[in-house]
Amino acid sequence: MFGNSFSDIGIDLGTCNTLIYIRGKGIVLNEPSVVAVERGTKKVVAVGAEAKRMLWKTPANIIAIRPMRDGVIADLESTEKMIRYFISRVLPRYRFIKPRMVIGIPSCITEVERRAVEESAYKAGAREVIVIEESLAAAIGADIPIREPAGHMICDIGGGTTEISVISLGGMVVTNAIRLGGDEFDEAIIKHVRSVHNLIIGEQMAERLKIEIGNASPDKTIEKVEVKGTDAITGLPRRLEIDSVEVREALKDPITQIIDEIKSTLGQTPPELAADIVERGIVMTGGGSLLKGLDKLISRETGVPVIIAEQPLDCVALGAGKYFEYAKGLNNTRTIYDELN
């Protein structure tokens, strides 16, 4: 039994970051979901943080890719290699104890993609693989009492996807997922800077702008950051100051789409559960929930309080790792009723 619990692992296979949680040990791995491979031979030269440093800066014979981009497995082979590498890093001494794995993935991925994730995990050495919705994992990880007969809304904004779910009695009542997240925030900033200032900036620069001065709700103070990029007309390097008002303007579109999705999910929620949500609030997880002022804006637009989970970036991995415990509880409930019938 002891051995079993140590070999239960929860994985958050995110488009930006992969996290692995082992029961009894906590989060043992947190790395960007990036793989660098040699062009042609497809030999892996780096994975995770090391590969991320190569992104956009690789010599001609090496390509750095984000295989899970947009929640889709754009590149099955590299996804598999990435999963295998990460797992081998955290379980080197347990090679002969095959672990059970629970993997949190966005619910908007296709059946084919879902099977591809499962297959990769089996190839990486799992003896049992369970794939669950990211928001269910996030809810378990955020310690939301989802088994009680009350409505809970969870909104996970990741890099490539946003998933909004209403959970009651341990089950998903409504789930909506869109392929839009923090990556689209970055893209919107790139587009804005290019169209307004004729300056081409990279994704990392855009992400920096978003994290440092991005703000979804108007703020009294206006912050500024200097960005560097390539002039779209002359092709020469140039610097420029961008302020937080501009960043907010650039982010308006993707943020509106997320808020519309939350509103539509609330609209699909049975009234009794909606009443619970108004009282308990919407719990936000995922890196996107950290965008300054986003919680306030969502609350203002929906009239529902918004709470950011304690460790918004860790919730999915934590919840996936605790899933077996959680599912065991569910089975017990069923057995009690089975006996009554």
Ligand X SMILES: Nc1ncnc2c1ncn2[C@@H]1O[C@H](COP(=O)(O)OP(=O)(O)OP(=O)(O)O)[C@@H](O)[C@H]1O
Q: Residues in the site for ligand X, rule: CB under 6 A?
A: 12, 14-17, 71, 106, 134, 158-161, 181-183, 207, 210-211, 214, 286-288, 290-291, 313
Distances (CA, A) of 61 to 35, 45, 48, 215, 268: 14, 11, 19, 39, 50
Distances (CA, A) of 262 to 140, 199, 280, 302: 20, 33, 15, 8
Within residues 107-166, the interface with Mg ion by CB under 5 A covers 158
Name the token pair of 303.
Answer: 């009239």
CB of 13 to ligand X, least distance (A): 7
Give the residue from 285, 276, 339, 334 showing the smallest Cα distance to 133: 285
Q: Residue 34 binds which entry of Mg ion, ligand X, none, with Cβ cut-offs from 5 to 8 Å by kind?
A: none
Asked if 106 and 14 touch (Cβ cutoff 8 Å), the reply is no
CB of 312 to ligand X, least distance (A): 7
Q: Does 32 bind Mg ion (CB under 5 A)?
A: no
CB of 312 to Mg ion, least distance (A): 10
Give the residue from 278, 280, 271 showing the smallest Cα distance to 145: 280
CB of 3 to ligand X, least distance (A): 30
CB of 82 to ligand X, least distance (A): 12
Q: Residue 181 binds which entry of ligand X, Mg ion, none, with Cβ cut-offs from 5 to 8 Å by kind?
A: ligand X
125-142 exposure pattern, b = at least 16 Cβ within 10 A, e = fewer: bbeebbbbbbbbbbbbbb
Which residue's CB is nearer to ligand X, number 113 or number 276?
A: 113
Q: Residue 113 binds which entry of ligand X, Mg ion, none, with Cβ cut-offs from 5 to 8 Å by kind?
A: none
Which residue's CB is nearer to Mg ion, number 211 or number 274?
A: 211
Which residue's CB is nearer to ligand X, number 58 or number 107?
A: 107
Please report the DSSP string for 191-206 in residue order.
HHHHHHH-EE--HHHH
CB of 163 to Mg ion, least distance (A): 8
Taking CB under 5 A as the binding criterion, the range among 6-14, 119-127, 139-147, 247-255 that sits at the site for Mg ion is 6-14
CB of 150 to ligand X, least distance (A): 25
Residue nearest to Mg ion (CB): 158
Which residue's CB is nearer to Mg ion, number 103 or number 199?
A: 103
Among 10, 14, 214, 254, binds Mg ion (CB under 5 A): 14
Q: How far apart are CA 281 and CA 299, in angstroms?
A: 9
Name the token pair of 239.
Answer: 């610097």
The per-type count for the chain, helices as H runs and strands as E runs, is 12, 16
Which residue's CB is nearer to ligand X, number 14 or number 99?
A: 14
Which residue's CB is nearer to ligand X, number 8 or number 12?
A: 12
Q: Residue 99 binds which entry of Mg ion, ligand X, none, with Cβ cut-offs from 5 to 8 Å by kind?
A: none
The strands making up 237-243's β-sheet, listed across from edge to edge, are: 199-200, 224-231, 237-243
CB of 282 to Mg ion, least distance (A): 17
Which residue's CB is nearer to ligand X, number 64 or number 273?
A: 64
Q: How many residues touch Mg ion (CB under 5 A)?
A: 2
- Please, which residues have CB within 8 angstroms of residue 212's CB and are 6 or more apart in sequence? 223, 225
Please report the DSSP string for 234-295 in residue order.
T--EEEEEEEHHHHHHHHHHHHHHHHHHHHHHHHTS-HHHHHHHHHH-EEEESGGGGSTTHH
Which residue's CB is nearer to ligand X, number 99 or number 158?
A: 158
Q: How far apart are CA 22 and CA 213, in angstroms?
A: 35
Q: How far apart are CA 79 and CA 82, in angstroms?
A: 5
Which residues would be at the binding site for Mg ion (CB under 5 A)? 14, 158
